[in-house]
């Protein structure tokens, strides 16, 4: 019976996927030529979002709605989702479309982006989302945060710095009986946050990490992967950067020399 149901749903899934790809093509045709960091209201899929930076919005849309990087099988009608680095709310919208009964905790460190996130969720009636306008880190208190104006803000970013409040993610996870999906797109802080959460990662069923290797800092991918392995995860790694002849072209002078998507799940 389950096999028959899956086969019946398969054409619907591919129809929806092709529809979203056409929407991405439409958005690229309308906005792809416009310059960065010019706020604009964008209509898509029956929604209207305030967007601080069009290029980052377009590629987020492709990652989230076309490629479906965050697609998972909820274990209940009311999954618990932690969205760390929620940005303007596209991921929150996706999670709600995937599972309308989801309870989402959305963290966003940049105060200006967090305000846009709140406005977008309210304007589009996306409910049961707790917005935490703080940076995800390994301790409570204030930290220096490099603002970007789009989706690249980071404690490691050089340039304009502001002081923001931080939360210790480990303590938040410890309060949950279980977390169905944990998304970490926190621009480099993942190498500190994940090891700090080691003793509570057993509560997490699915974990997405965007790994960032800042060229000015030691690489800590091995430490991150070891933490995932010891927590009982299997993982799949997807490369986001490509350098031909990397022994020669070492990304010197570039902020990031390696970027990966890591999908961790229970075997």
Task: Supply the DSSP symbol for 195.
Answer: H
Please count the other Cβ atoms lying within 10 Å of the Cβ belonging to residue 42: 17
Say yes or no to pLDDT of 250 above 70: yes
Confidence at residue 5, expressed as pLDDT on a 0 to 100 scale: 47
Q: What is the mean pLDDT of the segment spanning 121-132?
A: 97
Q: At what angle do helices 2-31 and 54-61 cross, to 10 degrees?
A: 160
Confidence at residue 267, expressed as pLDDT on a 0 to 100 scale: 78
pLDDT tens per residue across span 13-26:
666 778 999 999 99
Say yes or no to pLDDT of 12 above 70: no
Confidence at residue 214, expressed as pLDDT on a 0 to 100 scale: 83
pLDDT tens per residue across span 171-190:
999 999 999 999 999 988 99
The span from the CA of 140 to the CA of 165, in Å, is 7
What percent of the chain lies above the pLDDT cut of 70? Answer: 91
Contacts 24+ apart (CB under 8 A), 1-9: none
pLDDT tens per residue across span 71-100:
999 999 999 999 999 999 999 999 999 999
Q: What is the mean pLDDT of the segment spanning 136-148?
A: 89
Say yes or no to pLDDT of 9 above 60: no
pTM value is 0.91
Domains and CATH numbers, the chain: 68-266 (3.40.50.150)
Confidence at residue 10, expressed as pLDDT on a 0 to 100 scale: 64
More confident residue, 1 or 10: 10
The span from the CA of 165 to the CA of 88, in Å, is 19
Task: Supply the DSSP symbol for 188.
Answer: T
pLDDT tens per residue across span 17-69:
789 999 999 999 999 999 988 999 999 999 999 999 999 999 999 999 999 99
Please count the other Cβ atoms lying within 10 Å of the Cβ belonging to residue 59: 13
CA angle, corner 55, sides to 49 and 61, nearest 5?
Answer: 55
The span from the CA of 225 to the CA of 228, in Å, is 5
| Torsion sign (Cα): 184, 128, 98, 79 | positive
Q: What is the mean pLDDT of the segment spanning 148-167?
A: 77
Residues in the chain: 267
The span from the CA of 19 to the CA of 68, in Å, is 13
């Amino acid at each position: 019976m389950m096999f028959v149901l899956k086969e019946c749903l398969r054409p619907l899934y591919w129809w929806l996927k092709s529809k979203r790809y056409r929407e991405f093509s439409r958005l690229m045709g309308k906005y792809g030529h416009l310059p960065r960091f010019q706020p604009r209201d964008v209509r898509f899929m029956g929604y209207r979002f305030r967007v601080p930076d069009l290029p980052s919005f377009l590629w987020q849309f492709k990652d989230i709605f076309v490629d479906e990087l965050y697609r998972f099988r909820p274990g209940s009608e009311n999954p618990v989702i932690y969205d760390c680095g929620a940005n303007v709310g596209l991921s929150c919208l996706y999670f709600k479309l995937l599972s309308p009964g989801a309870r989402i905790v959305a963290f966003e460190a940049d105060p200006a982006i967090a305000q846009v996130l709140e406005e977008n969720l309210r304007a589009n009636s996306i409910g049961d989302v707790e917005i935490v306008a703080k940076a995800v880190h390994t301790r409570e208190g204030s930290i220096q945060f490099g603002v970007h104006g789009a989706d690249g803000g980071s404690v490691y970013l050089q340039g304009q710095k502001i002081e923001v409040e931080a939360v210790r993610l480990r303590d938040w996870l410890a309060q949950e009986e279980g977390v169905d999906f944990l998304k970490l797109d926190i621009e480099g802080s993942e190498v500190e946050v994940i090891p700090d959460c080691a003793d509570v990662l057993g509560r997490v069923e699915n974990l997405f990490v965007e790994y960032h290797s800042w060229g000015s800092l030691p690489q800590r991918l091995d430490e991150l992967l070891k933490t995932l392995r010891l927590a009982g995860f299997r993982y799949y790694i997807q490369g986001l950067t490509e350098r031909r002849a990397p022994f020669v072209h070492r990304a010197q002078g570039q902020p990031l020399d390696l970027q990966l998507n890591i999908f961790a799940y229970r075997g």
